[in-house]
Structure 1
């Protein structure tokens, strides 16, 4: 399908980049909904609004962006929407986004990825097309950056997709390895990674609905597990799940963690913990623990992403970051 002469592939790419950035800012704050971003353009390709779904029960990204256009007196100029996820066509806590789009002058809707919920996948796009709108998919765009943006959009909703498909949370394992090949910081230090790697670690923590650790880590380091290097838009308490068969976790540590805003719970085994987290609406959990428990988690096959931070060989150099997916379709 040919692209409008005015709305060039480069403009579509920039619009999706902006929409993804808006959605990523709220990753971890929208459970049980996925994070979604939307950009609204006029016929000349000028941005009228950028919005994201911020939390469950609030306006979805498309409705929020269209409302912003109305508030700015630009509703009549609405022409194209670029959405990171297929607009919903079913009633939940908010009305369907398809209805908000159809109530606007929009003529074209670009979609990064289809809805992963098999019960509704394709329904939003089909209804828009049936109403006469042009629906296009980022994966069909002939631009060298399109595939990277599609992968970025898929990763953004990967926890939601897994929950919709298998009914369990996405588990991300974070592991930092020093130059000696182990995970132990030098005496008197709490870490050995670079500033950039520390920010990455806090980004991973921010997007997680729960932190999973072990009693050994608690006893050795008494980690705070708070998000400090990046804004944390989470409107509700984060879970702190401690694997502790022998119930060694000190009561004062639990009290202090609750004072930091966590909901703390002790557990005997990872499989039952994963089931409990799923029932609690957790979309993504971050595993932060020592080498023994980390190896055990890897052996279970319940993890989905393994982020490995390897300390740079020389001081001042950038650490080496590797991301491993458990299955090929998650890469």
Structure 2
């Protein structure tokens, strides 16, 4: 008789929960990627869901296993689903692959393969030790590829920093009904509340905001996250392209008071390399039309989010490079 194990539908449900948990901490984990994990019993019951919340905090797998311990459910663990391949690296936290091997886990489903050569290899290690380990794309479920795509997007900024030595660059562009980026006189925006929430969610997931001195001079923007919950514990970077030294010291002081680490740069490539060196994985470009065009024309972007003002409500379009 075949031993019971979670069905593909139950595994897919657990994987969605893991992805949702990871997404809540996007923007808070640098220089580590956001990762989520769910633990299932043999009958498919979800025993625990956890995420990596910040660098130095437990990894998602360890946090989920610890939660099961605390709830007295540890012995019931059968299947572990996680958005990123379990690591084999010992840093500030022990290797996740070894924590899994020390548990009753019999099967592991993971989303993205770890792009970090220092930490990769967890899937092979688990499989060699008798734990059935498969990528989520192997799951016999209609949503398998969509779930894998979500997992890949979660770690895209982490992978970009590793492979391109620069942050993942998200360009946000707001246009009025006539296609202009300039708000009416006396206003700082022309988008509606829903679009503002989206804009602040883009800030929430970013480790840095990139702007230009012209934007600073025009309306001294705050660049803070106000319309959504921000789980970030450390300061966010504020990188200002300012070739002529026009940014006032008073603005930089005020930015520090708001929790930013501001820096001035005269060169776009130097700025991006410096941000990556500092651990920035994703940067949100919020600037005027001239600098925005420079990023696009140089091919220095990964995601372009366009918010358009319409009579019946704003529309949002996204494209990937």
- TM-score scaled to structure 2, two decimals? 0.96
Distance 1:99 1:5, change over 3 A: closer
Q: 2:309 aligns with which of 304, 311, 318?
A: 311
- Paired with 1:55 and 1:118, the residues of 2 have a C-alpha distance of 21
SS at match of 1:23: helix
Q: How far off its partner does 1:9 sit?
A: 2.2
Equivalent residue, structure 1, for 2:64: 65
- Paired with 1:67 and 1:202, the residues of 2 have a C-alpha distance of 33
Equivalent residue, structure 1, for 2:268: 270
Structure 2: unaligned runs, 5 residues or longer: none
Q: 2:199 aligns with which of 185, 201, 213?
A: 201
Equivalent residue, structure 2, for 1:13: 12
Does residue 111 of structure 2 align to residue 116 of structure 1?
no
Does residue 161 of structure 2 align to residue 163 of structure 1?
yes
Distance 1:310 1:4, change over 3 A: farther
- Paired with 2:211 and 2:50, the residues of 1 have a C-alpha distance of 34
Q: How far off its partner does 1:118 sit?
A: 3.9
SS at match of 2:189: coil
Q: How far off its partner does 1:8 sit?
A: 2.3
- Paired with 2:147 and 2:177, the residues of 1 have a C-alpha distance of 33
Q: 1:298 aligns with which of 290, 296, 299?
A: 296
- Paired with 2:110 and 2:101, the residues of 1 have a C-alpha distance of 15
SS at match of 1:293: helix
Equivalent residue, structure 2, for 1:94: 93
Q: How far off its partner does 1:188 sit?
A: 3.3
Q: 1:133 aligns with which of 118, 131, 135?
A: 131
Equivalent residue, structure 1, for 2:224: 226
- Paired with 2:309 and 2:9, the residues of 1 have a C-alpha distance of 36
Q: 1:215 aligns with which of 213, 216, 235?
A: 213
Please identify, of 49-58 and 301-310, the stretch whose mean Cα deviation from structure 2 is larger.
Answer: 301-310
Offset from partner CA, 1:179-234 (integer Å, 9 cap, x none): 10111122333212222221111111011111100011011111000001111111
Q: How far off its partner does 1:303 sit?
A: 1.6
Q: How far off its partner does 1:144 sit?
A: 2.5
Does residue 315 of structure 2 align to residue 320 of structure 1?
yes
Offset from partner CA, 1:34-87 (integer Å, 9 cap, x none): 000000111111111100001111110000000000001111101111100000
Equivalent residue, structure 1, for 2:43: 44
- Paired with 1:119 and 1:234, the residues of 2 have a C-alpha distance of 25
Number of matched residues?
320
Distance 1:157 1:255, change over 3 A: same
1:66-85, aligned counterparts within 5 Å?
66-85=65-84
Q: RMSD over aligned Cα, in angstroms? A: 1.5
- TM-score scaled to structure 1, two decimals? 0.93
Aligned 8 A contact 1:117 1:165 in 2:
no
Distance 1:250 1:86, change over 3 A: same
